[in-house]
Amino acid sequence: MNYYYLRPKNSSPLFIENKEERDAVIDNLLALRKSLNEEIPEKKLSGNLILGTWNIREFGNSKYNGRMTESLYYIAEIISRFDLIAVQEVRTEMLEFNQMLNILGDNYGVHVSIVTQGKSGNSERLAFIYDKRTVEFKNIAGQVVLPKTTQIPDQFARAPYVIRFQSGWVRFDIATAHIYYGDDVKSGVKYKKRVEEIKNLVDYFSKNYIKEADNLFILGDFNIEDTEAATYAAATSGKFKIPSAILTGQLPGTNQLQNKIYDQILYYNKYNNIVFSKAGVYNLYNTVFNDFASYEGRINAHYGKKLAKNKFNDFRSYQMSDHLPLWIEMKTDLADGYLNFVKKQKE
């Protein structure tokens, strides 16, 4: 993390000139670091992988005059706690995204998709951000295009983005998606399209990747309401599973109200040798943008006019997000299993 942008006499556009505001941001970063230390396992240079997914609302939007500089620091601080994180809703205009990457620093690599053309693409990109000290890009990346058949008349609203990485002993393909939402009318055409898109996603990877991939993850914003919904049934209809650490942990939802499980992580592991330990949903609003009075002055200065208190919840969703990060920890040191396998080999 490049905290030096906060040092006095700094010419960077990421410098916060007003000392009182800068001190408030530093205090918030310290509180955020403490909270993250308490809730998310420590990253290690070897042995484990902290994997996450986060839909960051319209990352690059101009609503409320865009993101405040302090918001970029908070987003970067959260992302720095992951070895690998999939990010949805990166907009066509990437200035804010690139500024956040500058704060993250040179230890992090990034791969970003192109925008899916058309209205349904919503000017969105998908991205993977990874710690280059613990995760290695294996030179394969692409976006998913469905084969044209009468059974599948439409492509994905936003083409899923798939990449191959390796961390420790584990090489894996990983795809991120932002599924079409439509509306909540269960009998409606738009909701049925959402369900079909999830099923098409799972079916595509089941048919085209599982034969060649030992390990495969699909994660992102599936727009799943709950475990009783047709969207959940579609996501779990194939050979992919949701890690038991997520299922048995009775995690809260990933939306702001934490009553919807929109974001999910699915996986396929051919040899059943991946071990997941902990999982969680990080509620950043327990620490930042949690008190209108504390932020009101900075918000009004940024927005250029007075923000009504009843708009604070909406405002902060465009500063941070209307989704919360979902994460899981998995073991990447499989040396013991391999050595036992070698020991059993015949001469």
Query: Domain boundaries in the chain?
Result: 3-343
Mean confidence (pLDDT) of the chain:
95
Q: How far apart are CA 147 and CA 126, in angstroms?
A: 21
CB neighbours of residue 278 within 10 Å? 16
Average pLDDT over residues 265-278: 94
CA atoms within 13 A on the CB side of 101: 20
- Mark 198-216 as b/e (b = at least 16 C-beta within 10 Å): bbbbbbbbbeebbeebebb
Average pLDDT over residues 153-169: 93
Distance set, CA 297 to CA 20, 64, 286, 302 (Å): 11, 14, 20, 9
Task: List the 276-281 sheet strands across, edge first.
Answer: 108-112, 124-131, 84-91, 48-59, 326-331, 276-281
SS3 339: helix
> Any idea which architecture 3-343 has in CATH?
4-Layer Sandwich (3.60)
Is 41 in contact with 21 (CB distance < 8 Å)? no
Average pLDDT over residues 297-321: 98
Average pLDDT over residues 119-124: 90
Asked whether the predicted pLDDT for residue 153 surpasses 70, the reply is no
SS3 300: helix
Of the ranges 118-127, 313-322, 338-347, the best mean pLDDT one: 313-322
Residues ≥6 apart with Cβ < 8 Å to 51: 82, 83, 84, 85, 217, 219, 265, 327, 328, 329, 330
Per residue in 82-94, pLDDT tens?
999 999 999 999 9
Percent of the chain exceeding pLDDT 90 equals 85
Residues ≥6 apart with Cβ < 8 Å to 229: none
Asked whether the predicted pLDDT for residue 238 surpasses 90, the reply is no
Average pLDDT over residues 277-306: 98
CA atoms within 13 A on the CB side of 315: 23
Q: Helix axis angle, 292-303 relative to 19-39, nearest 10°? A: 130
Question: What stretch of H or E contains 53?
Answer: strand 48-59
Q: How confident is the model at residue 152 (pLDDT cuts 50, 70, 90)?
A: low
Q: How far apart are CA 41 and CA 282, in angstroms?
A: 12
Exposed (0-12), middle (13-18) or buried (19+): which is 329, by Cβ within 10 Å?
Answer: buried
119 or 269, higher pLDDT:
269
User: Is pTM, for the whole model, over 0.85?
Assistant: yes
Average pLDDT over residues 167-192: 95
Backbone angles phi, psi at 23, to 5 degrees: -65, -40
11: left (phi over 0), alpha (psi -120 to 50) or beta: alpha
Residue 225: its pLDDT value, please? 96
CA atoms within 13 A on the CB side of 227: 8
Residue 338: its pLDDT value, please? 85
Which tokens in the block code for residue 22?
């800068």
Nearest Cα to Cα of residue 67 among 100, 28, 105:
100
Distance set, CA 42 to CA 36, 45, 82, 282 (Å): 9, 10, 9, 14
Average pLDDT over residues 2-22: 94
